[in-house]
Amino acid sequence: MRLTVFGATGRTGRHLVDQALADGHEVTAVVRDPARLASAGHPRLTPVVADTMDPESIAVSVTDQDAVVSTLGRRARTDGSVCADGARAISTAMRATGTSRLIVVTASGPVVDEGDDAFTRLVFKPVLRRFLAAEFADFTRAERVVRDSGLDWTIVRPPRLTNGRRRPYRTALDRNIRGGTSIARADVAHAILAALDDPATIGHTVGLGY
């Protein structure tokens, strides 16, 4: 598979690039600093330096690709809109170049649904919303952009991210994972690649957790 990754030097993006290369995929990594790529020099890795927020700048990186993944996070900018603005630019570039498969990583925190237990719904997530209001608002806007993109999209919603080792995890379509309060970034990367191979995830959200 020819795969483009945005956020490739982030903590989740690095796992995704490494696992995709290990699985035999050809990876185009859109970055600001190629030196930060852990797999720099790999024969199937192509770094592209571009402004992620500019559809024209990133058009070449999504042309003739089988899929595009965004693991962009708020660390990339300070105005709190990196996820939504990135999703908007990426989807615009994809429509212009005819690439249709898109996976965007957001978070389970902003969403309350039947997958959450009473404590999570009534106590834990209201507290999170107070402290992470800007991040959650950005994720919500990004999801709206993705849903309205007209592309073959999947939204992956992990809970709290850790740097732990890979281990068995649970997934659910269109709902959160009951009791799934954390997941390792390495497992999020694995779940992204699994979703790319599963057409049943198109047009759906994928909840993750242990």
Per CATH, the number for 2-209 is 3.40.50.720
Give the pLDDT score at 24. Answer: 98
Instruction: Answer for the pair 142, 83: CB distance below 8 angstroms, yes or no.
Output: yes
Give the pLDDT score at 98. Answer: 98
Phi, psi of 66 (to 5 degrees): -80, -30
Q: Which of 124, 110, 100, 108 is nearest to 172 (CA)?
A: 108
pLDDT in single tens digits along all 210 residues of the chain: 999 999 999 999 999 999 999 999 999 999 999 989 988 899 999 999 999 999 999 999 999 999 999 999 865 445 578 999 999 999 999 999 999 999 999 999 999 999 999 988 888 888 888 888 889 999 999 999 999 999 999 999 999 999 999 999 999 999 999 999 999 999 999 999 999 999 999 999 999 999
Residue 3, C-beta contacts closer than 8 angstroms, at least 6 positions apart:
20, 25, 26, 27, 28, 65, 66, 67, 68, 69, 196
3 membership: H or E segment, kind and range: strand 2-6
Q: How many helices (H) and strands (E) does the chain have?
A: 7, 10
Residue 43 CB burial class (10 angstroms; 0-12, 13-18, ≥19): exposed
Instruction: Answer for the pair 188, 105: CB distance below 8 angstroms, yes or no.
Output: yes
CA distance 124 to 143: 22
Beta bridge partners of 27: 3, 45
